[in-house]
């Protein structure tokens, strides 16, 4: 095994003395030497319009504007290409383009996968990736922060966000599963993703036995597994989620806080009417508040594997496995007497996300039904039916009224939703009318039904009962507020101010409008939640799993690396007895490591040239391809490390080479000799990826919203795409600029990915993907012709042709052609397009309704010219001049057809 080329450290070879008069940098001399040995010559340079479009697409994933092309064509300086490359590398859209490929590798998705496939909050990690590429973070730091940013000394917030890389694993929250089985599956996925991404090695088969081809044993697999076995399980343990405000939001947050301060000053003004309203509320609360007796459960159980721990004060804390839905059942002895009300306190706890009281990000929870039974001493069961409920909460997670009655209405399809509120417990009070006569020996059986399907479960709670006659409709308030009201005779000025502030902010009917505005402003300040890695407090005992079976653990293993690779070099200390993920990450990027630099430069080469020097970018083992240019691969790897792991510098070297600048034209003889272009005697043509196809169409149409970062968006997709997925998630099509964001930001659901991207070979991202297949199918052509997003782009391109070029048809068509292909059309091409517009113009003049229907189908809501704007209902808005609307539609429709043709040209959808 040690003789296999990939396991020997790369040695910097001398640059060949070849390619004089052609070579621009060392890459070309290695390529020229190979071509000389094969008796071949490089292809002539590509024309400059093709080259500028190629650079834009390869470095930013977006096409150039005509002004960009003109500037490059006019630049006669010898370093014109280098200047353009530098400008593109400095563009934030370059970072987005690099991030898209990394998301494939990292199996990024906005949902968990499996069964219901609920949404997950992890877009902040995607934003971190874009930012890391934008600031050209060296690849060694990029590696360390993603694999072990949380273990760095005094890690920053962004370094902790970076660890979301390995929280992109699928998570199963179906009822009845074995949580440990799927935790182990997630750990295995982390091992295998790390191996393919950094080592170019496939380790999956070593789960069950020694690798049959490469030099990896089953024990070594589990030694790598041990590095990741010590991390908190997905959603089940404290610290697995993190509130992570975006650096981009700091300025907006400062403005929002100023607005809140001004609103506070208005709300807390001196006003006798508000003071009188508060006094009446306090009097009602004191008069109706029952005397509560906390219950101490003697038995608990859950529908799934959630753990319920009863504490000394009677409160119950949920922990461990976090399913999508659950039912908590508690049994507690009742005191004898008339049971007039039951109270469910929702309590904060530092172990919960945002301190709770729910287990969902932000402390949210959803209670579908509170079922109450009394089991008599004689075995009979009585059902308690509260007719109503009141709550101390004033709003739900989205600012809507909390609707507490939904928790006691007997309908599991309705639910009470609650948002976590910093520093505040909440409660739900369910009065019983008439009171229930509890006898000695009676036991309350309380069932908390929670069916949201997205982990919004109760985290910490306590049940209490009131054993007295009812005293009227209760006026519920948070427990700490109740205490202030009851202490009216002894509270001081500070307590008076606290109660006044709470009442005016949360309960005053006279300040309802101000409260609604506060909700809007506070929502802007809520930092997004993201998933992160964290080491468990109590180390797990990692064992080899016989035949990969989680139920069949074997010998104990400690973290280590395969023997065929350099040693880890870890030495135990009293404060650190075993190696961790940080040691593994630093080992991966240690100088002289045989694989990491080779694998990385090969993947970047494949992104630029269409095929890796090692064609199997995910497999450098014996089953993988041998490198086509081994000396070039080692020179690039050593250059990458010596240059400080600078990704942009490496890309600059590649894209300023003469090898890159070659024409893609190929002779029949060369195609026969080298069909895959392994010898690099020409440039490679390739169809654009699905996301890039859509971005190119939006950019050419002028519709593209170039906003960087932020949550995922929902552009138009065919009706019914999500109708077969078993979940309450719904595709709510984005409006405004979000409708036209780059494909990078499209919501990615594993069970139903964006259909156009899938048609063009995008992965589902259930697993890592280091190289996408390329297929050609009739469905792809149909999508480009008929997909709503491409139809809207055709309308936008038609508008640009008419608005930005002169009135002559040829000028408009030439402009549209350049927007799509970067070059001017030839006379024959222009003649075909001219005849197309003329024939469509005649046809639509005879059938105005067909013109209106086409314009309607291609016009996004809220956009369009005079008489052609679409309303929010999706139809063409009526105008007084309906005949003018018809004439406008008949004039616009031929240009939409022409634009659709231009967007579907082979040259538009191909990188040449």
CB 336 within 8 A of CB 478: no
Give residues with Cβ within 8 angstroms of 637, minimum separation 6: 10, 597, 598, 601
The tens digit of pLDDT for each residue in 796-839 reads 999 999 999 999 999 999 999 999 999 999 999 999 999 999 99
Bridge pairing between strands 369-375 and 443-450: antiparallel
Closest CA to 162 of 183, 148, 152, 177: 148
Beta-sheet strand order (sheet of 326-333): 299-302, 326-333, 443-450, 369-375, 381-384
Number of Cβ atoms within 10 Å of the Cβ of 371: 18
CA 113, CA 853: separation in Å to the nearest integer? 39
Lookup result for tokens 């894209």:
655
Please state, in angstroms and as integers, the Cα–Cα distance from residue 366 to each residue in 447, 452, 748, 855, following that order: 14, 6, 25, 44
> Which pLDDT band, with edges at 50, 70 and 90, does 564 fall under?
very high
CA 609, CA 613: separation in Å to the nearest integer? 9
- Whether the per-residue pLDDT at 419 is higher than 90: the answer is no
Question: How far is C-alpha 71 from the chain's CA centre?
Answer: 37
Number of Cβ atoms within 10 Å of the Cβ of 363: 26
The tens digit of pLDDT for each residue in 8-36 reads 999 999 999 999 999 999 999 999 999 99
The tens digit of pLDDT for each residue in 57-102 reads 999 999 999 999 999 999 999 999 999 999 999 999 999 999 999 9
Give residues with Cβ within 8 angstroms of 765, minimum separation 6: 103, 104, 107, 108, 109, 168, 748, 750, 753
Number of Cβ atoms within 10 Å of the Cβ of 835: 10
Cα first-last separation, the chain: 40
Q: Which residues pair with 467 in a beta bridge?
A: 339
The tens digit of pLDDT for each residue in 842-887 reads 999 999 999 999 999 999 876 655 445 444 444 444 333 345 577 8
CA pseudo-torsion sign 272, 273, 276, 282: negative
Q: Which two tokens stand for residue 310?
A: 């009863």
Indicate the pTM of the whole model. Answer: 0.86
CB 531 within 8 A of CB 234: yes
Helix (H, G, I), strand (E, B) or coil at 143: helix
CB 683 within 8 A of CB 50: no
CA 579, CA 584: separation in Å to the nearest integer? 8
CA 865, CA 875: separation in Å to the nearest integer? 14
Window from 40-44, 362-366, 474-478, 745-749 with minimum mean pLDDT: 474-478
**Left if phi > 0, otherwise alpha if psi is -120 to 50, otherwise beta: which for 699?**
alpha
CA 23, CA 43: separation in Å to the nearest integer? 12
Instruction: Look at residue 728 in the predicted model and tell me its pLDDT.
Output: 66
User: Which stretch of DSSP H or E encloses residue 647?
Assistant: helix 647-655
Closest CA to 328 of 297, 346, 302: 302
Cis, peptide link before residue 139, omega less than 30° from 0: no
Q: Which two tokens stand for residue 244?
A: 């992570």
List the helix and strand counts (H, then E) for the chain: 28, 20
Please state, in angstroms and as integers, the Cα–Cα distance from residue 210 to each residue in 246, 340, 778, following that order: 45, 67, 43
- Whether the per-residue pLDDT at 676 is higher than 60: the answer is yes
Percent of the chain residues past pLDDT 90, beyond the cut? 70
CA 460, CA 198: separation in Å to the nearest integer? 42
The tens digit of pLDDT for each residue in 232-264 reads 886 545 558 888 888 777 778 888 999 999 999
Instruction: Look at residue 883 in the predicted model and tell me its pLDDT.
Output: 55
DSSP 8-state assignment for residue 318: E
> Which pLDDT band, with edges at 50, 70 and 90, does 422 fall under?
low
- Whether the per-residue pLDDT at 613 is higher than 60: the answer is yes
Question: What are the DSSP calls for 530-585, one per residue?
Answer: EE---B-SS----EEEGGG-TT-EEEE------TTS-------BTTB-S--HHHHH
Please state, in angstroms and as integers, the Cα–Cα distance from residue 690 to each residue in 99, 100, 129, 664, 696, following that order: 15, 11, 20, 22, 10
């Amino acid at each position: 095994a040690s003789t296999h080329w990939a396991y020997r450290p790369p040695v910097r070879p001398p640059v060949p003395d070849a390619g004089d008069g052609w070579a621009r940098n060392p890459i070309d001399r290695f390529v020229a030497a190979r071509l000389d040995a094969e008796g071949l010559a490089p292809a002539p340079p590509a024309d400059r319009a093709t080259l500028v479009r190629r650079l834009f697409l390869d470095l930013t994933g977006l096409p150039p504007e005509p002004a960009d092309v003109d500037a490059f064509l006019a630049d006669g300086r010898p370093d014109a290409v280098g200047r353009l490359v530098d400008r593109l590398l400095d563009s934030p859209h370059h970072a987005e383009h690099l991030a898209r490929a990394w998301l494939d590798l990292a199996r990024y998705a906005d949902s968990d996968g499996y069964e219901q496939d609920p949404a997950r909050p992890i877009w902040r990690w995607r934003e971190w990736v874009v930012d890391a590429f934008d600031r050209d973070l060296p690849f060694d730091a990029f590696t360390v922060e993603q694999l072990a940013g949380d273990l760095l000394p005094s890690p920053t917030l962004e370094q902790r966000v970076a660890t979301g890389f390995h929280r992109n694993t699928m998570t199963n929250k179906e009822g009845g599963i074995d949580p440990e089985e799927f935790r182990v599956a997630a750990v295995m996925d982390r091992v295998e993703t790390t191996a393919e991404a950094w080592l170019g090695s496939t380790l999956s088969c070593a789960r069950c036995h020694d690798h049959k081809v490469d030099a990896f044993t089953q024990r070594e697999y589990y030694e790598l597994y041990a590095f990741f076995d010590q991390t908190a399980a997905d959603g089940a343990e404290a610290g697995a989620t993190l509130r992570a405000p975006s650096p981009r939001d700091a300025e907006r947050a400062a403005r929002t806080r100023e607005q809140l301060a001004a609103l506070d000053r208005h709300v807390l003004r001196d006003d006798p009417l508000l003071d009188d309203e508060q006094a009446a509320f306090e009097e009602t609360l004191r008069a109706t508040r029952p005397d509560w007796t906390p219950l101490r459960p003697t038995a608990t159980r859950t529908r799934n594997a959630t753990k319920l721990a009863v504490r000394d004060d009677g409160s119950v804390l949920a922990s461990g496995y976090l399913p999508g839905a659950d039912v908590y059942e508690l049994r507690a002895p009742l005191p004898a007497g008339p049971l007039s009300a039951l109270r469910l306190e929702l309590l904060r706890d530092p172990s919960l996300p945002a301190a709770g009281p729910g287990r969902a990000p932000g402390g949210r929870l959803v209670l579908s039904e509170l079922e109450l039974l009394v089991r008599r001493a004689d075995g009979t069961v009585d059902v308690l039916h509260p007719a109503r409920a009141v709550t101390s909460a004033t709003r739900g997670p989205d600012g809507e009224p909390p609707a507490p009655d939904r928790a006691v209405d007997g309908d599991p399809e309705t639910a009470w939703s609650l948002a976590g509120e910093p520093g505040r417990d909440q409660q739900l009070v369910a009065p019983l009318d008439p009171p229930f006569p509890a006898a000695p020996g009676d036991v309350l059986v309380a069932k908390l039904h929670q069916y949201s399907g997205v982990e919004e479960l109760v985290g910490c709670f306590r049940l209490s009962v009131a054993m007295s006659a009812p005293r009227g409709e209760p006026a519920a308030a948070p427990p700490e507020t109740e205490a202030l009201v009851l202490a009216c005779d002894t509270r001081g000025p500070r307590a008076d101010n606290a109660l006044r502030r709470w009442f005016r902010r949360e309960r005053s009917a006279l300040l309802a409008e101000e409260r609604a505005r506060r909700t809007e402003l506070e929502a802007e300040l809520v930092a997004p939640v993201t998933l992160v890695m964290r080491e468990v407090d109590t180390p797990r005992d990692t064992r080899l799993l016989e035949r990969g079976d989680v139920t069949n653990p074997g010998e104990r293993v400690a973290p280590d690396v395969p023997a065929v690779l350099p040693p880890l070099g870890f030495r135990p200390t009293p404060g650190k007895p075993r190696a961790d993920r940080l040691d593994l990450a630093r080992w991966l990027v240690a100088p002289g490591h045989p694989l990491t630099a080779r694998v990385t430069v090969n993947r970047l080469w494949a992104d630029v040239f269409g095929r890796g020097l090692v064609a199997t970018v995910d497999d450098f083992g014996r089953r993988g391809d041998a490198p086509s240019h081994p000396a070039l691969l080692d020179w690039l790897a050593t250059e990458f490390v010596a240059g400080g792991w600078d990704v942009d510098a490496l890309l600059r070297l590649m894209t300023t080479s003469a090898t890159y600048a070659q024409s893609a034209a190929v002779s029949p003889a060369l195609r026969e000799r080298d069909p895959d272009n392994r010898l690099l005697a020409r440039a490679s043509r390739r169809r654009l990826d699905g996301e890039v196809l859509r971005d190119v169409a939006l950019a050419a149409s002028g519709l593209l919203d170039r906003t960087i970062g932020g949550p995922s968006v929902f552009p138009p997709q065919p009706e019914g795409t999500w109708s077969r997925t078993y979940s309450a998630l719904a595709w709510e099509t984005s409006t405004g600029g979000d409708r036209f964001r780059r494909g990078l930001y499209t919501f990615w659901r594993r069970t139903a990915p964006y259909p156009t991207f899938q048609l063009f070979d995008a992965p589902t991202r259930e697993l890592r993907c280091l190289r996408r297949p390329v297929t050609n199918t009739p469905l792809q052509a149909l999508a480009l012709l008929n997909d709503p997003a491409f139809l809207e782009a055709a309308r936008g391109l038609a508008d640009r042709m008419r608005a930005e070029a002169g009135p002559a048809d040829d000028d408009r068509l030439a402009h549209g052609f350049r927007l799509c292909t970067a070059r001017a059309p030839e006379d024959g091409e222009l003649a075909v397009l001219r005849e197309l517009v003329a024939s469509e113009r005649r046809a639509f003049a005879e059938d105005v309704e067909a013109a209106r229907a086409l314009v309607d189908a291609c016009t996004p809501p809220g956009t369009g010219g005079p008489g052609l704007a679409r309303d929010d209902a999706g139809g063409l808005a009526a105008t007084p001049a309906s005949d003018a609307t018809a004439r406008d539609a008949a004039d616009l429709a031929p240009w939409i057809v022409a634009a659709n043709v231009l967007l579907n040209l082979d040259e538009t959808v191909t990188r040449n």
